[in-house]
Amino acid sequence: MVWLPKDRRIYKLMLKPINELKPSNELKHNSVKHTFEPIYNMESKILILGTFPSVKSRENGFYYGHPQNRFWKVISSVFECGIPQTIDEKTHMLLILNIAIWDVINSCDIIGSSDSSIQNVIPNDLSIILNNSNIDKIYANGKTAAKLYEKYSELATKKPIITLPSTSPANAAFGLDRLVEAWKTIK
């Protein structure tokens, strides 16, 4: 037995032909520019690089803004401190811990937040941080950030990058405990 709504207009909407729905492969790249500044100061010793801010991060105007991204939980666990909630608290925590953060990419064409869709990359000028801090080591938040750094930035910086597992919710292979254990290398 099939249940049919009494309102035939709803029924017609429910029977919309599949060919009228937009397939996911027709999503378009958007040209997007990084809109917020790096976090660092003269005492920064560690630089953590992501690829490019997610849609949620761009909406929030700050790094790792997707509620499912585990970056802030991981850093807090590694350094045994409270999880910051506001942008000011996050900035303060990073500066107290001598951590700088930024992204490899200044602008690109991207579909949503998909790192795998990134095209037409213009990298950030990392000398802005490196010339105005005491960065000893550079870490990538994920393999894509590392690959992009190696392709676009390493020749200019002359510094190798250490790849850490991504804190992105897309990295389902790593639970929080496993991420924290891997990230302890920054301490």
In a domain, 2, yes or no: no
> What's the token pair of residue 73?
């939980």
Q: What CATH code is carried by the domain that includes residue 61?
A: 3.40.470.10
Residue 54: give the domain boundaries. 28-186
What total of structural domains would you count in the chain? Answer: 1
126-155 burial string, b = 16+ CB within 10 Å, else e? beebbeebebeebbbbbebbbbbbeebbbe
Quick check: is 63 in a domain? yes
Phi-psi region of 20 (alpha: psi -120 to 50; beta: other; left: phi over 0): alpha
Residue 53 maps to a domain: yes
Query: Could you give the residue ranges of the DSSP H alpha helices within 114-168?
Result: 127-130, 143-152, 154-157
pLDDT tens-digit series, residues 141-165: 999 999 999 999 999 999 999 999 9
Task: Quickly state the pLDDT bin for 26 (edges 50, 70, 90).
Answer: low
Within a domain: 166: yes
What is the per-residue pLDDT for 114? 84
* Distinct helix (H) and strand (E) counts, the chain: 8, 7
Q: For position 115, what pLDDT does the model report? A: 83
pLDDT digits (tens, 9 = 90+) for 69-116: 999 999 999 999 999 999 999 999 999 999 999 999 999 999 988 888
d(CA 65, CA 87): 10
Q: Is residue 23 part of a domain?
A: no
Residue 20, domain member (yes or no)? no
Structure token pair of residue 61: 């105007």
User: Is residue 5 assigned to a domain?
Assistant: no
